[in-house]
Chain A
């Protein structure tokens, strides 16, 4: 299985600011995803992070609000821009291994005041 780390593990941010979350994997992977989990809810797929090209966003998520970078096969960032209290969630990155199994990072807990 892949070992995935996320930074920061948690943060408290002010309204109107932005937070960038980093996701690092210990091996090269083809597919990386970003999910959001709102309080008490299931996981919602935000986007697929594509290496060397623009991310593929799911319905309801736009690049201006959730810009994503993926400069190589082991690293990706998700920025949550112009924060509002509604953005308070856990943000998770995940990767797909060579055996087509998805593994998740520990998550980043964001609180917006």
Chain B
């Protein structure tokens, strides 16, 4: 099973871009990368996902390397409300039998 590796913690200044790395060197060709965040032990919140190409939505951008062994989540202008634990996940299995296995996550602290 593919696993993810993330730094345990990071700090970012408010208003700056937060770049959160994730290593998934054992990922298979059809396995997607998902990012979630969790604030104060609430249910994790979906952020973005991708397979090969870079993706962008209203919350963040996802940059996936060409070999797909790593990715970076970018929060373009971090605010204090972005302080959370960010999880990089590889989705395993085929349609109807998916499993989403969480890694240990990165605790991001946005500093005023």
A residues adjacent to B (C-beta < 8 A): 1, 4, 30-31, 33, 35, 37, 42-45, 48, 90, 92, 94, 96, 100-107, 109
Contacts and interface: CB of A to CB of B under 8 A. Distances in A.
Chain B, interface size category, equals 20 to 34
In the A-B complex, the 3 residue pairs with the smallest Cβ-Cβ separation, listed nearest first, are A104-B43, A43-B102, A42-B102
A109 B100 CA distance: 21
Decide if the interface of chain A is mainly helix, strand, loop or mixed.
strand
A9 to B, nearest CB: 11
B43 A105 contact: yes
B77 interface: no
Contacts of A102: 34, 46, 98, 100
A31 B105 contact: no
A45 B103 CA distance: 11
Name which of A33, A37, A102 has the most chain B CB atoms within 10 A of its CB.
A102
Contacts of A109: 41
B41 A45 contact: no
Given A42-B87, A42-B103, A96 B46 contact: no
A42 B102 CA distance: 7
B41 A107 contact: yes
Interface of B: 32, 34, 36, 41-46, 49, 87, 91, 95-96, 98-105
Nearest to A107: B43
B37 to A, nearest CB: 11
A104 to B, nearest CB: 3
Nearest to B32: A100
A48 B99 contact: yes
B101 A100 contact: no
A35 B102 CA distance: 10
Contacts of B91: 100
A105 B44 CA distance: 8
